[in-house]
């Protein structure tokens, strides 16, 4: 390559590095993940979650747009959220049942303890 081409290339690379350093310096005081689209999603999540009439379908779609997965840690009573933009969050929750729910559909079926088996069916002569 000729000398002017090399000088122009080095000047362009130097300018790119300077601009990247300025960009990093300007964004250092705030979290990297807090961009415009994420803050709008978080505002929408707050609004839907605090509404008097909870729209579960909309809440579910917002949560799916924010998280890769949610891990339920029963032993330590917490939820672990894996964000789509990177990183994880831990939330301490109460895992104790809030109320007892009976399943009326299965109340007519006999219940067997572990190791027990159902009695044999009766033999009918034909």
Question: Could you tell me which residues come within 8 angstroms of residue 54 by beta carbon, excluding any fewer than 6 positions away?
Answer: 48
Please indicate, yes or no, if residue 100 is contained in any of the structural domains: no
pLDDT reading at 106 higher than 80: no
Segment (H or E) for 44: helix 36-49
Please indicate, yes or no, if residue 7 is contained in any of the structural domains: yes
Please indicate, yes or no, if residue 80 is contained in any of the structural domains: no
Residue 57 has what pLDDT? 92
How confident is the model over 9-48, as pLDDT tens digits? 888 888 888 888 877 776 666 555 556 677 788 888 889 8
pLDDT reading at 62 higher than 80: yes
Please indicate, yes or no, if residue 12 is contained in any of the structural domains: yes
Please indicate, yes or no, if residue 94 is contained in any of the structural domains: no
Domain membership of residue 6 as a residue range: 1-29
Residue 7 has what pLDDT? 80
Instruction: Give the chain's domain count.
Output: 1
pLDDT reading at 86 higher than 70: yes
């Amino acid at each position: 390559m000729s000398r002017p081409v090399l000088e122009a290339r080095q000047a362009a690379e130097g300018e790119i590095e300077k601009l990247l350093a300025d960009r990093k310096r300007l964004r250092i005081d705030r979290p990297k993940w807090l961009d415009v689209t994420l803050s709008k999603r978080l505002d929408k999540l707050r609004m839907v979650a605090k509404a008097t009439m909870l729209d579960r379908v909309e809440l579910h779609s917002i949560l799916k747009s924010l998280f890769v997965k949610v891990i339920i840690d029963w032993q330590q009573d917490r939820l672990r959220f894996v964000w789509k933009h990177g990183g994880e969050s831990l939330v301490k929750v109460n895992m104790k049942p809030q109320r007892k729910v009976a399943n009326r559909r299965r109340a007519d079926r006999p219940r067997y303890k572990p190791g027990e088996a159902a009695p044999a069916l009766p033999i009918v002569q034909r």
